[in-house]
Amino acid sequence: MRGMKDSKTMQESPEQPSAQKASLWKLAGLFLKIGAIAFGGPPAHIAMMDEEVVSRRSWLTREQFLDFLGASNLIPGPTSTEMAIYVGRMQAGWPGLVVAGSCFILPSAVFVAVLAWAYVGYGSLPQLAGVLYGIKPIVIAVIAQAIFKMARSAVKSPWLGGLAVLAIVAFALGVNEIVVLAGGGLLAGIAQGLRRKRASHSPTAVFLAIGSAATAATPFSLGALFGVFLKIGAVLFGGGYVLVALIRSNLVARLGWITERQLLDAIAIGQVTPGPISTAATFIGYLLARFPGAAVATIAMFLPAFFFVVISGPLIPWLRRSPLAGAVLDGVNVAALALITVVAGQLFRAAVVDWPTLLMSAASLWLLLQFRVNSVWLILAGALLGSIRIWPH
């Protein structure tokens, strides 16, 4: 009886979703793998984490995964990187937090640094058309699978389903991501308060605005580079397009350290390599100061994400225990799911460009849903098929 009671206690603990926690080696291996093959941006990264962490390993329940996703969308920084950090913290505390986050970032940073070396040495970007042609439709299938799974856990009532549809419409019309995410939480909180017929104060998100003075071009130094990317990482709400705007306003317009073309090339490299798109900072750092600059820019870009997860992580179980806060988190979750759905639709138009890519995407989705085939093998197969198709040209 005591053993059964202990087992139940461990399963119910918000800090330990399964009876056996992952070792640091397992965390490192998993997130190195995801970081090395996770093409397609944050929606694809999150989809792969859902498959590996929830479906295959049961390190988190899907509700916990969605709670972390909602929190990641409400704090500054790259969402998928923060998800990796949250998982590491849940599994192995502070050491796990550092290992999971660092291992997710490392493969992308290395790839980008190598491409930056080739860019500086040869003056152009390597041709990756074939590989990307084959990988993109597989990524769409992986994202669609994750949306299907998360919707079953996130949409707990017709009311939340309606809220998800409303969020999809808002995102599709171009409403700011943070406004919709916060609005989803606010509406869900108000509805919960009305159901209980008691006054409630909706939670407000406090955003730290780090201003920058409009000054003339500043001489470059590694310390100044660290400061610029630390600031960008601390206010990065809203994804890749916001990253482009922040880098341009700071490094192109205000400081004059890089050109418009170099900025566009950096963003392109961040999008065509696996792992977080924010490793565009690695590319820019290399352009400015070779490998030391790449290391400094990368550390500064992602350091705020670790900080925000540290201060927000302990609050999530408490939020879930509070009926009002739990309702707010449910609203944020369905809004985040709506965001992934809209982004998936946008990516579909760019990835599925002909009959072969449509067939690859449909077949991959069928294999994922019907047979739970590991997405790693599908991505490798897509890269091979794409390379074969493009090679004769």
Residue type, 255: L
Which secondary-structure segment (H or E) carries 171? helix 158-172
Q: In whole numbers, what is the pLDDT of the chain averaged over residues?
A: 80
Say what the pLDDT of residue 16 is: 46
Q: Over the stretch 100-156, which tens digit does the pLDDT of each residue have?
A: 999 999 999 999 999 899 888 776 555 566 776 888 888 888 888 888 888 888 888
Contact by Cβ (8 Å): 89, 102: no
pLDDT band at 387 (very low <50, low <70, confident <90, very high): confident
CB atoms within 10 A of CB 311: 9
Which run of H or of E encompasses 71? helix 62-74
User: How confident is the model at residue 162, as a pLDDT?
Assistant: 93
pLDDT for 18:
47
pLDDT band at 241 (very low <50, low <70, confident <90, very high): low
Residue 290 three-state SS: helix
Q: From CA 381, how far away is CA 378, in angstroms rounded?
A: 5
Q: Specify the 3-state DSSP secondary structure of 273.
A: coil
CB 71 within 8 Å of CB 86:
yes
Torsion of CA 249, 250, 252, 254, to 10 degrees: 90
Taking the C-alpha atoms of residue 28 and residue 125, their distance in angstroms, rounded to an integer, is 30
pLDDT for res 203: 39
pLDDT above 70 covers a percentage of the chain that reads 82
Q: What are the structure tokens assigned to 35, written together? A: 């970081």
Q: What are phi and psi of 221, to 5 degrees?
A: -155, 160
Q: Give dist(CA 284, CA 297) in Å, integer.
A: 8
Q: Please state the rounded mean pLDDT for residues 252-281.
A: 83
Lowest mean pLDDT among 233-237, 307-311, 360-364: 233-237
Q: Is 391 a residue whose pLDDT tops 90?
A: no
Interval 331-358 mean pLDDT: 84
User: Are 63 and 153 a contacting pair, CB within 8 Å?
Assistant: yes
What is the 8-class DSSP label of residue 303? H
For residue 279, what are the CA distances in angstroms to 13, 113, 243, 296, 343? 35, 9, 11, 12, 20
The CA–CA distances, whole Å, from 322 to 16, 208, 308 equal 19, 25, 21
DSSP code, position 23: P
If one compares 325 and 218, the residue with the highest pLDDT of the two is 325
pLDDT tens readout for residues 313-325: 777 677 667 788 7
Rank 4-13, 62-71, 342-351 by mean pLDDT and report only the highest.
Answer: 62-71
User: Percentages helix, strand, coil for the chain, rounded to the nearest 5?
Assistant: 75, 0, 25
> What pLDDT sits at residue 126?
53
What average pLDDT score do residues 221-231 get? 94
Confidence at residue 50, expressed as pLDDT on a 0 to 100 scale = 93
Q: How confident is the model at residue 22 (pLDDT cuts 50, 70, 90)?
A: confident
Query: The tokens of 355 are what?
Result: 């009959």
Q: Among residues 144, 92, 74, which one has the least CA distance to residue 367?
A: 144
What does the pLDDT average to over 189-198?
Answer: 75
Angstrom distances, CA of residue 148 to CA of 38, 72, 142, 152: 19, 20, 10, 7
DSSP 54: I
Nearest partner of 77 among 339, 301, 315, 298, judged by Cα: 301
pLDDT, residue 299, reads 96
Give the pLDDT score at 208.
33
Q: 């990317």: which residue's tokens?
A: 229
